[in-house]
Chain A
Amino acid sequence: MSEIIGIWIAAGLTLCVFSFLYKDNLFYRFAEHLYVGTSVGYTIAQAWHQTVVKLVWYPIKQEGDYTVLIPAAIGLLMFSRFVPKYRWLIRWPLAFMIGVSAGASIPRSIQSFIFKQMEATIQPLNSINVFIIVLGLLCTLIYFYFSTEHKGAVGVASKVGIFFLMVSFGAAFGYTVMARISLLIGRVYFLFHDWLHIVK
């Protein structure tokens, strides 16, 4: 029973949101705020169960590891932003988080995003596709190279680079249209399949 009620509510809310297409109205506003409210409530509850309980409470209770309280306390300094006088304390948790991620990312970006990509590019020119890839990559890099005027040979290369970029953006454009349409299909399918049972 609760399943059926749930589907009817979900369908009703779906229609409320769709009503915005005609114009902004009371039903849409209601649904929008209901959504904002539930998503905030959702995050609070999940943050408690999935992070505080798992990463702080469990180690204390099961393993007697009280050291987790130190990072927990540093993390809580994040809330100092609401107390103007102690606002600077927020820098401590940020220093940890940002310092670690910046340091971790340098060698790993070089390894996975530069070396691996270079390795895949530096190949013998044994097919037309490899040639096109190398040409496209070099020209794209030249387009994003800001230390020379785009004149003469460099100008031609950067023009070729922009063509490659446009082909890529075109593909992304097509794919984005595809993505948005899929989302609509998903909702219409929900209405006709799960709710009205018209479509199998």
Chain B
Amino acid sequence: MKLRLPLILCFLCGIFMIVQFFVPPFTGVYDKLLNWVMIISIPALVIGLTSLIKLHSNRIIRKTPNMPYSTVAFVAMIVMALSGLIGGTGQGTWFEWMFKNIQVPMQATMFSLLAFYIASAAYRAFRARTLEATLMLVTAVLVMLARVPIGDFLWQHVMPDSVLQWKANLPEDVAGWILNVPSMAARRGIILGISLGAIATSIKIILGIERSYMGAGE
């Protein structure tokens, strides 16, 4: 029962959503169901945070070497949460100030480190060891040159006027062609394949064949 009832519910919700797509008068139930799902999904936003909170509080309680850092994290969390809950989140609040001046710069900077790593990886790991990898690297270099101003800039400085009259922005055009024609074709293949896979997974979920998301247990 602990498993069967939720599986039946999942089946009913799934079948209803499929049928509703083809039967317009079902919109009343459909609207209500969607409202419900939006509300049901609210706790999902914060449930992932609990493991982080647990991790840091454990470190503090057990006085591990990481304790000072975890304390920073914990204090920051409480200050941020309380200022938002009490003072609001709108313009001119403490919450917004901290968001703008602490959270934004740090998150943005963390990811900007990847610029350095990608350069170092380009140097140390990206090798044309097979024909496929070679083709990929050549396309990458072409796109990197042509999709930023330097491609056209160099072209227009190197080529004689007669060539420029024919094609003033050839690098950009070539990159555009790659993206719109061969690369697009491959991506379309990927989309079709992934969609069929997603449909298969959805069918398995609705029929209760795929139930790993329900977790183990009776």
Contacts and interface: CB of A to CB of B under 8 A. Distances in A.
Contact of B195 (A70, A72, A96, A109): A109
B139 A37 contact: no
A117 interface: yes
**Interface range for A:** 35 or more
Interface in B49-75: 49-50, 52-53, 56, 69-70, 72-75
B198 to A, nearest CB: 6
B164 interface: no
A101 B191 CA distance: 19
A170 B37 contact: no
A52 B181 contact: no
A48 B214 CA distance: 27
A81 to B, nearest CB: 8
Contact of A162 (B35, B114, B132, B198): B132
Contact of A37 (B75, B113, B202): B75
A17 B113 contact: yes
Contact of A136 (B45, B99, B189): B189
A9 B78 CA distance: 19
Q: Which 5 A-B pairs have the closest CB atoms?
A: A45-B84, A41-B80, A170-B139, A37-B76, A136-B185
Interface of A: 2, 6-7, 9-11, 13-14, 17-18, 20-21, 29-49, 51-52, 55-56, 68, 70-72, 74-76, 78-79, 81-82, 87-88, 90-110, 113-114, 117-118, 121, 129, 132-137, 139-141, 143-144, 161-178, 180-181, 183-184, 186-187, 190
